[in-house]
Structure 1
Amino acid sequence: MGLVPAIARKSSHAVVALCGSLWSSSAFAEPAAPPAATGANGDAPGMPSPETSREDLEARVARLEREAAARRDAPLPVVVSGYVHTDWVLFRQSSQDEVTQDGQPLNEKRFLLRRARLRAERDYGHFHGAFEIDANTINELQLRPINAEASFKWPAERPYPRAPWAVDPSRQPGRNDGTSSSGATNGAPQTDTPWFVVTAGLFRTPFGFEVPESERERPWLERSTMSAALFPQSFDLGLRFLGGYRFVRYAFAIMNGAPIGERTFPGRDPNESKDLIFRIGGASALTEGIQLEGGLSGLSGRGFHRGLPATKDVLQWQDSNADGVVDNTTELQVIPGSPATPSASFKRFAVGADLRATIAIPTLGDLHLRAEVVRGSNLDRGLYVSDPVVASRDLRQLGYYLGASQEITRWALVGVRYDRYDPDSDAREQEPFALVPRDVSMSTWSFSAAGRMRYGRLVAQYDHRQNALGRDASGRPTTLADDSFTLRAEVRF
């Protein structure tokens, strides 16, 4: 009897505990969600269809890719670039281990820093600014500003014209970096929108083709003798207006007429007269693989003759018998003084024509052909400085060059150029019984070969020069041996 009540009590306790547990679970459990209604197509409401979801994802991916490309291609606030040209002159026939009368060394077999350029520029749409400095050791260690431009351009979205004569004026620097330098195979389309740029500052003289050409695009080490004599180092101060429409290219400038490489007043205008310069031409992609660029150029201005100060009478003693004593009046000579001569200006001008063709050669690369001729008067400022006041006549100049360069795939380039320059077409020389014409012209054959990679070049060039600077045994003019062989290392950044 005692066992049955005990079992009953334990069973009742278990039932009470089970009921309490069930009540607690139902009281604190979250209510069950009602069944979701389905749409007409069986999808849950508010959820996009598979087709809509795929379209949204594709649009989002495309938008993100465009934003990433825009961030990647967006120009920096200030774009910094530059390049270095280091030369090693292995051979130069005219080099001597000697100095000139003014103490300058005549040795040319040396390492030299031809140019090291650092450029900073910024494009604000309608406004563009650039500043470039140059370091070199051509004569001595030199650091100077070489390019400083403040420009207004229209339209605002058009890139700054780095090669205004080209089919694509907005050609970016470094196109000659192991890829096709001209893009002749691209068939760059002509734009129907006129464009122009107004620039004030220190910039390249817009005359011809070779003078405003960038040093890192030229197949040869330096400019031709003609360009170096008439426009030494190219850069001058002034105001320039250039532009184009369709295939037409034009440039007008008013400049000091004293380039930074001039031998008399480099970078500083000695008179109030300014040089007027223009170039009018065209550039067109004739076919899919042929481009043609050409133009006519002109210059009109006034040069400057430096006056001389007055001098006093001078008594000169020549000790003819070397006894240290004035023996007679024949050893004494009076050199009379001279009055001061005023400075004067003189007229100068130049006209020129240039032509350039680019032909795409299958497999190899682009073939570049170029030619230019210039006729000038009293314009030599870098080689034989023209001074018609001293010469009592005008000094006429004539120069031209012919050049061809061929890309050997994207990795190499070979070129040949012939240039000739006559600084005085009317030169005369006195012989024993007559005054005869004298040929003072000089010519150069330049053969170059370059290996190219994306950010650098290694160039080898041999120059064969002919001139009238030497004299033979009879005293007649002859060629002074002056051939040279040079290696150049170039790096761009």
Structure 2
Amino acid sequence: MKKILLILIFFYPVVLFAQSNNAPSTYDPHEIAITGYLQTQFQKAQSEGISSFSGGDFSKNSDSRFMIRRGRLKIDRADKYSSIVFQIDATQNGIQLMDAFIQLHQPDSKTLLLTAGLFNRPFGHSIVYSSGYRDFPERARVFQTLMPRERDIGAMVTYHPKKLFKFLTAELAVVNGSGYNARDYDSKKDIIGNLGFKFDSLANKKLHLGFGASIYEGSVRNNTESYYSATASGFEKNTSPNNVGYFGKREYYGGNLQLQYDNTFGRTIFKAEYLQGTQPGVAASASVIGPLSSTSFSAQPATDLYLRPFSGYYLWLTQQIANTKFTALVSYDVYDPNREISESEIGVAGNNTTAGDIKFSTLGYGITYLINSRFKLTLYNEHVVNDGTKLPDYTADLKDDVFTTRLQYRW
């Protein structure tokens, strides 16, 4: 609690410039409002049974599938002093809770908001940007790894001036750190701070600019007598009875940029986001496949922690084609779970590296067609690349490209 209070005091100036994208359909007082969207898709993978960040892994003997990627149903209500949001996701895998939060505000102003419950982590741009409006089918691998399902349970303060300094936004949240799981597996809480700037209608109202920075300060409990810290040649094992209950640092630092230019050919949008830090994970094993060994945990890790110095980024470019309903998409993203070591050293005897340390990059390209204001078709291919290592199953680039055809209807 003392650490939380110190961080809150440190971030107090940032809170004066806060804004959150966690919101009801409208803040105007209203009774129950129901909104949502449905995404149904067909996918073809390059190989059977691949590990994929394009909607999840493929079944062992399958390289193609139909699926409901997202089936969101959002219910919200707002009055003079507060609002409530409740959202579920219904797919072939069942029904999951996505959002459940209450917001409080002054009766005549939404400048200051207090949010409590299950909500999007206020980190960067793509995490809080709705999948129902995003042109690209999925978020970048780095964000899917560090913040799976994007949500966490906690409380958040948001401040966004409506007049003077209205271009400044910021958020400060205290969360469990275990994501959507209601059972926090340790007594410590994580802190998220987000500061953003947004300028609309520049250059004769043709240019729109946004940028910001984010910080995540948290930890993950070690439940064994050993943990591994990264070195220039691999990992060093630290063993002691005192390591049971040791808290490995979970720290992220990120920056983001959004540019939109409304030109005579059509709207051009460029978005970029970079982050790096330390991610507590585990070793890849028969039960934990490589890409998942650095995923943030919703339950107490059962094996030794691996503290990985990671980095990652994405570049997104969309271009409306000749002011038509067609938009071209190009993206490139990289996630390096261990930036201290090269792929040629992964798997060398004695350095304790595993498949969880392999860097992946993804080149995506495709097109969307806006059938009408609610109905959209997307065709998109992802070319995923990894360098070869000394590990038996990762000596060359995996055949794990994925092509997606998606229909989305939003109401």
TM interval, shorter chain, is 0.7 to 0.9
Q: Establish whether residue 444 from structure 1 lines up as the match of residue 326 from structure 2.
A: no
Partner of 1:85: 39
The answer on whether the counterparts of 1:406 and 1:413 sit within 8 Å (CA) in structure 2 is yes
Provide the rounded CA distance (Å) in 1 between the counterparts of 2:64 and 2:45: 6
Instruction: Determine which of 282, 303, 307 is the counterpart of 1:394.
Output: 307
Provide the rounded CA distance (Å) in 1 between the counterparts of 2:70 and 2:167: 34
The answer on whether the counterparts of 2:224 and 2:303 sit within 8 Å (CA) in structure 1 is no
1:241 Cα deviation after fit: 1.2
Provide the rounded CA distance (Å) in 2 between the counterparts of 1:93 and 1:267: 37
1:104 Cα deviation after fit: 6.1
Partner of 1:415: 329
The answer on whether the counterparts of 2:377 and 2:406 sit within 8 Å (CA) in structure 1 is yes
The answer on whether the counterparts of 1:471 and 1:478 sit within 8 Å (CA) in structure 2 is no
Counterpart of 2:75 in structure 1: which amino acid?
Answer: A
Give the secondary-structure state (helix, strand or coil) at the position aligned to 1:145: strand
The answer on whether the counterparts of 2:280 and 2:307 sit within 8 Å (CA) in structure 1 is no
Instruction: Determine which of 80, 84, 87 is the counterpart of 1:132.
Output: 87
Partner of 2:408: 490
Instruction: Determine which of 144, 147, 153 is the counterpart of 1:228.
Output: 144
Aligned length: 338
Provide the rounded CA distance (Å) in 1 between the counterparts of 2:327 and 2:41: 18
The answer on whether the counterparts of 2:313 and 2:333 sit within 8 Å (CA) in structure 1 is yes
Partner of 2:187: 272
Q: Establish whether residue 354 from structure 1 lines up as the match of residue 259 from structure 2.
A: no
Partner of 1:255: 175
- Bigger shift: 442-451 or 476-485? 476-485
Judging changes above 3 Å, is the alpha-carbon distance between structure 1 residues 110 and 386 closer, same or farther for their aligned structure 2 residues?
A: closer
The answer on whether the counterparts of 2:126 and 2:139 sit within 8 Å (CA) in structure 1 is yes
Provide the rounded CA distance (Å) in 2 between the counterparts of 1:437 and 1:231: 21
1:125 Cα deviation after fit: 2.3
Give the secondary-structure state (helix, strand or coil) at the position aligned to 1:486: strand
Give the secondary-structure state (helix, strand or coil) at the position aligned to 2:85: strand
1:145 Cα deviation after fit: 1.2
1:468 Cα deviation after fit: 4.5
The answer on whether the counterparts of 1:87 and 1:111 sit within 8 Å (CA) in structure 2 is yes
5+ long unaligned stretches in structure 2? 1-27, 51-57, 226-240, 283-290
Give the secondary-structure state (helix, strand or coil) at the position aligned to 2:216: strand
Judging changes above 3 Å, is the alpha-carbon distance between structure 1 residues 394 and 407 closer, same or farther for their aligned structure 2 residues?
A: same
The answer on whether the counterparts of 1:299 and 1:350 sit within 8 Å (CA) in structure 2 is yes
Partner of 1:281: 196
- Aligned-pair RMSD on alpha carbons? 3.3
More strand by share: 2
- Relative CO higher for 1 or 2, CA cutoff 8 Å, sep ≥ 6? 2
Give the secondary-structure state (helix, strand or coil) at the position aligned to 1:81: strand
The answer on whether the counterparts of 1:229 and 1:380 sit within 8 Å (CA) in structure 2 is no
Provide the rounded CA distance (Å) in 2 between the counterparts of 1:202 and 1:437: 34
Provide the rounded CA distance (Å) in 1 between the counterparts of 2:95 and 2:80: 31
Provide the rounded CA distance (Å) in 2 between the counterparts of 1:393 and 1:112: 34
- Name which one, 1 or 2, has greater alpha-carbon Rg: 1
Partner of 2:212: 295
1:76 Cα deviation after fit: 5.0
1:492 Cα deviation after fit: 1.1
Judging changes above 3 Å, is the alpha-carbon distance between structure 1 residues 365 and 128 closer, same or farther for their aligned structure 2 residues?
A: farther
1:86 Cα deviation after fit: 0.7
Instruction: Determine which of 142, 150, 153 is the counterpart of 2:102.
Output: 150
The answer on whether the counterparts of 1:236 and 1:257 sit within 8 Å (CA) in structure 2 is yes
TM-score (norm 1): 0.62
The answer on whether the counterparts of 1:304 and 1:344 sit within 8 Å (CA) in structure 2 is yes
The answer on whether the counterparts of 2:280 and 2:306 sit within 8 Å (CA) in structure 1 is no
5+ long unaligned stretches in structure 1? 1-73, 98-102, 159-194, 261-265, 309-338
Judging changes above 3 Å, is the alpha-carbon distance between structure 1 residues 78 and 385 closer, same or farther for their aligned structure 2 residues?
A: same
Judging changes above 3 Å, is the alpha-carbon distance between structure 1 residues 420 and 489 closer, same or farther for their aligned structure 2 residues?
A: same
Judging changes above 3 Å, is the alpha-carbon distance between structure 1 residues 469 and 248 closer, same or farther for their aligned structure 2 residues?
A: same
Give the secondary-structure state (helix, strand or coil) at the position aligned to 2:143: helix
Judging changes above 3 Å, is the alpha-carbon distance between structure 1 residues 369 and 131 closer, same or farther for their aligned structure 2 residues?
A: same
TM-score (norm 2): 0.74
Give the secondary-structure state (helix, strand or coil) at the position aligned to 1:377: strand
Could you tell me the percent identity over the aligned residues?
26
Instruction: Determine which of 453, 459, 462 is the counterpart of 2:378.
Output: 459
Provide the rounded CA distance (Å) in 2 between the counterparts of 1:272 and 1:400: 31
The superposition leaves residues 412-449 of structure 1 with CA deviations (integer Å, 9 ceiling, x where unpaired) of 22211100001122345454799999971000011121
- Bigger shift: 212-221 or 378-387? 378-387
1:121 Cα deviation after fit: 0.5
